[in-house]
């Protein structure tokens, strides 16, 4: 059996395992463009009626305001995690800091705690600082929870950069900051891109923290907006409209994955190739 034919059983097995998911997502997309009632398999006609919420705010409310708030949360997450992770990971990877191993172990332990177990303590801190019920508080907490992951990922990329590159820049008279900015950062560009995408997606899909730490805030994000549609029974039994809002919510995620899928595959590998 040649190498090409030897992979056919594996492909068939993966296809059979993935088939229920593919059918489920296929009907999810189909239902957003048809008028199939709940419980019916095949639709009667094609329609764009379920997408009118994009232009008519009387249908489900202002979905664009929620989209903008989710975008603010996701972009803020990306900026905070990227800026702090790149500098902290470089210091841990390259500098002889005291208690370095203890610090690394502490970061790993911090990442092991689920966000839900920290909610009471976080609530008291935000309430004391006056940031409870505000999007700024949510952004700071979410960014802090994501930092251990970002620091560990970027440290792996910095460790893979040869010391000779950095030493050559220092011997030529460049400062340590200039060497880091002009020589080291381009070498870890795949990690920067992948971590930026992961940070954005983590902020975009966050539901728990905005729901609990900013319940009365006017900056409702899309995940909370989607939940409130069902909780308030605003849509009645129009599940196809609810599915359309859900598909709209996932479109940026799919778009980012299609654009940066090769970079995302490299995030756990480190290295200097981009």
Structural domain span for residue 193: 84-221
Identify the sign of the CA torsion 4, 10, 13, 18: negative
The CATH number for 123's domain is 1.10.3720.10
For residue 133, what are the β-bridge partners?
none
Q: Is 174 domain-assigned?
A: yes
Distances (CA, A) of 134 to 21, 119, 127, 137, 249: 37, 15, 10, 6, 22
Q: Is 98 domain-assigned?
A: yes
Backbone angles phi, psi at 62, to 5 degrees: -85, 90
Residue 36 has pLDDT above 90, yes or no: no
First to last CA, the chain: 36
Q: Is 62 domain-assigned?
A: no
- Average pLDDT over the chain reads 84
Q: Is 75 domain-assigned?
A: no
Q: What is the pLDDT of residue 1?
A: 53
Exposure of 235 in the CB half-sphere (CA atoms within 13 A): 20
Q: Is 66 domain-assigned?
A: no
Into how many domains does the chain fold? Answer: 1
81 — pLDDT class (breaks 50, 70, 90): very high
Nearest Cα neighbor of 138 from 54, 90, 80, 91 is 80
Distances (CA, A) of 77 to 39, 132, 205: 40, 18, 12
């Amino acid at each position: 059996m040649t190498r090409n034919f030897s992979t056919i059983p594996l492909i068939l097995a993966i296809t059979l395992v993935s088939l229920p998911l593919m059918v489920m997502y296929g009907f999810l997309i189909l239902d957003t463009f048809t008028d199939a009632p709940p419980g019916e398999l095949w639709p009667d006609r094609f329609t764009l009626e379920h997408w009118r919420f994009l232009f008519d705010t009387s249908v489900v409310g202002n979905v664009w305001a929620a989209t903008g708030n989710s975008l603010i949360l996701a972009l803020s997450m990306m900026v905070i995690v990227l800026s702090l992770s790149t500098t902290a990971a470089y210091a841990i990877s390259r500098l002889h800091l005291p208690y370095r191993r203890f610090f690394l172990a502490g970061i790993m332990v911090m990442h092991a705690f689920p966000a839900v177990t920290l909610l009471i303590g976080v609530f008291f801190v935000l309430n004391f600082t006056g940031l409870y019920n505000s999007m700024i508080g949510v952004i700071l907490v979410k960014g802090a929870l994501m930092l251990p992951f970002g620091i560990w990922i970027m440290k792996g990329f910095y460790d893979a950069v040869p010391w000779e590159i950095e030493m050559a820049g220092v011997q030529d008279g460049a400062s340590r900051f200039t060497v880091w900015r002009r020589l080291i950062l381009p070498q870890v560009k795949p990690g920067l891109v992948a971590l930026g995408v992961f940070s954005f997606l983590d902020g975009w899909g966050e539901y728990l923290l905005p729901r609990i730490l900013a319940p009365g805030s006017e900056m409702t994000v899309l995940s909370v907006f989607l939940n409130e549609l069902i909780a308030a029974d605003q849509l009645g039994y129009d599940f196809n409209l609810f599915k359309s809002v859900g598909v709209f919510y996932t479109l940026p995620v799919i778009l980012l994955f299609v654009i940066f899928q090769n970079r995302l595959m490299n995030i756990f590998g480190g290295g200097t190739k981009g």
